[in-house]
């Protein structure tokens, strides 16, 4: 997994309410748009043409598969905070406080006792 690029996506999307809304409403389109508009920039003045998501990363991001992202090395805090931003309000309204966090913990429960996925490049 290209951990830097996936983590950059999680970080930049979560920092902007407009991107969060777009990612919730149209995840596949948002991933593609982000790669064209944001992902290609190394900093405000330098672009790169070699960074891109693998097919697996693209699909996991396009389907909000936070379990796959975690299992393959996405930074846990970046993964958690973005998906809380996407789903916490509707889960809380339907099932009560911390409902999304509880579901995420259950879906990652098989990881209990195992080493955290490496965040090394």
- Asked whether the whole model's pTM tops 0.75, one would answer yes
What are the tens digits of pLDDT across the range 6-41?
Answer: 999 999 999 999 999 999 999 999 999 999 999 999
Q: Tokens standing for 35?
A: 């790669």
What are the tens digits of pLDDT across the range 65-75?
Answer: 999 999 999 99
What are the tens digits of pLDDT across the range 73-101?
Answer: 999 999 999 999 999 999 999 999 999 99
Q: Quote the CA–CA distance of 98 and 25 in Å, as a whole number.
A: 22
Asked whether residue 121 carries a pLDDT value surpassing 60, the answer given is no
Asked whether residue 117 carries a pLDDT value surpassing 80, the answer given is no
Q: In a 3-state reduction of DSSP, which class is residue 9?
A: helix
What's the farthest any 2 CA atoms get from each other in the chain?
46
Is residue 107 within 8 A of residue 67, CB to CB? The reply is yes
Strand partners, 43: 46
Taking the domain 3-111, which CATH number applies?
A: 1.10.700
Segment 95-113 shows an average pLDDT of: 93
CA dihedral 14, 66, 38, 32 (to 10 degrees): -130
CB within 8 Å of 51: residues ≥ 6 apart: 2, 5, 39, 40
CB within 8 Å of 50: residues ≥ 6 apart: none
What are the tens digits of pLDDT across the range 48-62?
Answer: 888 899 999 999 999
- All structural domains of the chain with their residue ranges: 3-111
Which pLDDT score, from 0 to 100, does residue 120 have?
55
Band (118; pLDDT cuts 50, 70, 90): low
Band (1; pLDDT cuts 50, 70, 90): low
């Amino acid at each position: 997994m290209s951990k830097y690029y996936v983590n950059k996506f999680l970080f930049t999307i979560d920092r902007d309410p407009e991107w969060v809304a777009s990612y919730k409403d149209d995840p596949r389109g948002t991933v593609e748009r982000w790669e064209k508009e944001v992902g290609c920039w190394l900093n405000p003045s330098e672009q790169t043409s070699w960074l891109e998501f693998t097919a697996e990363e693209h699909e996991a991001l396009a389907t909000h598969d936070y379990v796959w992202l975690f299992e393959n090395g996405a930074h846990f805090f970046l993964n958690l905070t973005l998906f809380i931003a996407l789903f916490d309000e509707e889960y809380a309204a339907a099932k009560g406080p911390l409902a999304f966090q509880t579901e995420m913990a259950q879906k990652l429960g098989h990881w209990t006792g195992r080493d955290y996925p490496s965040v090394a490049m």
